[in-house]
Structure 1
């Protein structure tokens, strides 16, 4: 921590962490609240799972780019300033969804809300910037796991709003919380001390990435109707792959990339990011929709519990809050035994949840137990992951690495929603929109495969990893030129 920062009068541990948790709750709440709402939107707008899934996917796609772009902007121009702007834009998105009156306008508003993807990386950077070094692991663990509080609140509030009023009330609440969070950050977090950088933001990289991901996911989400051999599917997948190739080529050459792909040369970072995307496609993203269908479907389907949206919200909120109580413990364990151990334990726990659900359809008690284990596992994994990453990066790149991880996680969750919706749509009765039990089982088996893979990759992480030293394109070119011309012949002749 710089001497300038130490010299400033700053609030203590509790106020900083509470405000950062509130800010991250906004981002996670705006995602979690929609999972409870999906069955209602399917009925109100008479659409299938593929179509309504874009309410979630649109948010995740924008959130992915916002995570890296916001993290990069925060490191360059001031994290507090960028966070306040992101929260204000999120409030505007909620208003668009509220006043639009159609599924298309809801999706548009959700895309605008996706700017809150920048919040988590900025929060990690602010925690590392303003907390005492020995308190950083616990603070970051609590902020990282605050998604569980948002999941709890999102499930409970969304369920209550739907039963008492309609889905419109969800967006009113989201707008109010966004404004409160922005005001709290402005009042509590110390002013930015970063001198604005002269580096040019990588806008092209920020645009190309969501184009690539959107095209691929749109192709898969529509494949249940068009088929894999259709020109629409082939064309969208082709566009996505081409955009991804151009994006990767550009990111390796631009001076200040939106995603510093050179960081993936570090073994620990590469493995942590790989485990993240596998877990996001699996238990962190793929299990939410089938779980909601289990709770809100009638028992006559064989797997349903017959819950109302409010009852489903109460169950999920309770289990996630139980999980969040483990986040301080996870931070202390990470400080003592290493984040790797806690991360592996969290991933293993959420993987074991799937067999419990598959083997106990229709049993409320066993489903609730499985959800408690799921909440604890997510809390440990979410809390350990940022600590795992900041162990190998300098403080100046904290928001960048966290933003990149947010991108990876959101792209994985986007894929999980699209693929899960595709699986469920293949087992949906067009007349009743009811999903067959085989579809629920297939979706959870898909989740389990990726959960197991994430554990395998996490086990490959090192206990004492090598540090990543950032290198710009200019430094790399200079190093290569020196290595190729050790005597300086080229420089002399020039």
Structure 2
């Protein structure tokens, strides 16, 4: 095991303690709370992809430039990346349900802004607020861990984590149908109504977790993390348009590195850090987060290219000339597969450990892209390959939070799951940049059009499959269950509490 990062004299780690704030706790059955939280996760994930079918039409609908229209996707990525780990930490300290409701409120306000306006500036603001709601998923995972009996945690967390992929698969065909048959503002009104329903359901049936992390909120660490992420993700998402060697792109990358070094040095010295780098540097956490980045990359390529590929004109020799609705429906079987397979992943993790589940998932994703390489001419084979990739993603997304939760203190569940979700988002950002670079550069002229070649799509499949293979190799480096638990701060804290005779309710057993 690698040596710990050199540190100044250690300070006491934050611990979880029961909260006395019971006024916000609502009576609930575990099944109902789990279903409501999963529904919230799906809704939030749908919002992330809702505008994708609309993007080609935004310039004519709003008078905006194509570059400005692209910010409707970019801004959700940025705000989601920044707010997910920050709000996870805030939830650990001040109440997960409370912060969950604030995130859903952000989704509601953002949806209403997009529904009432056609001005690109207001639409971008609304999408920024919608992106901030991505924190709902790690917060929901943390609530389930705190509230459910141990035997129920793995299946519930598996379902909650998979909502990110389920929502992405469902969002595109739903949005495509609305774009073709209704006024485009309708989908934002619908999302606002659903967000309001989510808020009411959470208020009525989801209890507040009694656990809190002691200490002060690390505002400087939060701002530093935001600076790093904004510089990095702006460079990655806009590098193709600005030029990868342009002063803006290189300057942002340099700023990300410098800000990251300064932020890391500060986090190692603060008493209650935004991200506990000592815990994050442990192999069980480090490799789980690296695997999350690679899985996020591998999964997102499937979502990005499937619809575009089947919409390519038939004159290209491989395109099917499908409508926007048909292209969206190609991802729907994958969404169904993710719903069905999340409990299967939980059973595999319970029987053999989440490490085995993640390794299996990586193999399935790689096989799925192998299928896509050889079967890119018929609609049913394209759907089959995309569904195999989605199936592997479901197992992976279900296993990742289980890996994280067994390796971190219970007091840091929200922050740790937020960071793991962030790594998936960063992987998706890198994937988006890579796919755009390949499809815009490996092209040919046919029928008076410039289109990506079939080889361009196959190259995307090769890169994404390679990311899945790398995820497998990283997974194999993960320590076993016994080693991971023995090395956690949680295990140390639990042993100390037992010696001191601390109440058993103060610390919960990890999944």
TM-score by length of 1: 0.86
Q: Does 1:381 align with 2:396?
A: yes
Any gaps of 5 or more consecutive residues in structure 1?
A: 472-494
CA distance in 1, matches of 2:256, 2:193: 36
Q: Does 1:173 align with 2:190?
A: yes
1:350-429 matched pairs, under 5 angstroms: 350-427=365-442
Contact in 2 for aligned 1:19/1:181 (Cα 8 Å): yes
Q: Does 1:232 align with 2:248?
A: yes
1:122-271 matched pairs, under 5 angstroms: 122-194=139-211, 197=214, 199-271=215-287
Give 1:130 deviation, angstroms. Answer: 1.2
Q: Secondary structure at the match of 1:153?
A: helix
Give 1:423 deviation, angstroms. Answer: 3.0
CA change 1:399–1:227 in 2 (3 A) is: closer
From 294, 306, 311, the equivalent of 1:296 is: 311
Residue 305 (structure 1) aligns with: 320
Residue range with higher mean Cα deviation, 47-56 or 147-156 = 47-56
Residue 61 (structure 1) aligns with: 78
Q: Does 1:447 align with 2:478?
A: no
CA distance in 2, matches of 1:50, 1:354: 31
Any gaps of 5 or more consecutive residues in structure 2?
A: 1-15, 491-511
Give 1:204 deviation, angstroms. Answer: 2.8
CA distance in 2, matches of 1:316, 1:156: 8
Contact in 2 for aligned 1:49/1:422 (Cα 8 Å): no
CA distance in 1, matches of 2:254, 2:165: 37
Residue 347 (structure 1) aligns with: 362
Q: Does 1:335 align with 2:354?
A: no
1:458-469 matched pairs, under 5 angstroms: 458-464=475-481, 465-467=483-485, 468-469=487-488
CA distance in 2, matches of 1:351, 1:106: 37
Contact in 1 for aligned 2:96/2:208 (Cα 8 Å): no
CA distance in 2, matches of 1:64, 1:318: 28
CA distance in 1, matches of 2:465, 2:474: 14
Residue deviations 1:233-282 (CA, integer Å, cap 9, x gap): 3323222222222222222222222222111232111111111112222x
CA distance in 1, matches of 2:462, 2:340: 29
How many residues of Structure 1 are paired with residues of Structure 2 in the alignment?
A: 468
Residue 315 (structure 1) aligns with: 330
Give 1:114 deviation, angstroms. Answer: 1.4
Name the Cα RMSD after superposition.
Answer: 3.0
Contact in 2 for aligned 1:216/1:237 (Cα 8 Å): yes
Contact in 1 for aligned 2:295/2:393 (Cα 8 Å): no
Residue deviations 1:364-405 (CA, integer Å, cap 9, x gap): 111111122122111111111111211222322221211111
Contact in 1 for aligned 2:237/2:429 (Cα 8 Å): no
Give 1:415 deviation, angstroms. Answer: 2.2
CA distance in 1, matches of 2:211, 2:349: 29
Contact in 1 for aligned 2:232/2:252 (Cα 8 Å): yes
Residue deviations 1:417-449 (CA, integer Å, cap 9, x gap): 233223333346899674443443333333222
CA change 1:442–1:215 in 2 (3 A) is: farther
CA distance in 2, matches of 1:329, 1:208: 39
Q: Secondary structure at the match of 1:146?
A: helix
Residue range with higher mean Cα deviation, 134-143 or 9-18 = 9-18
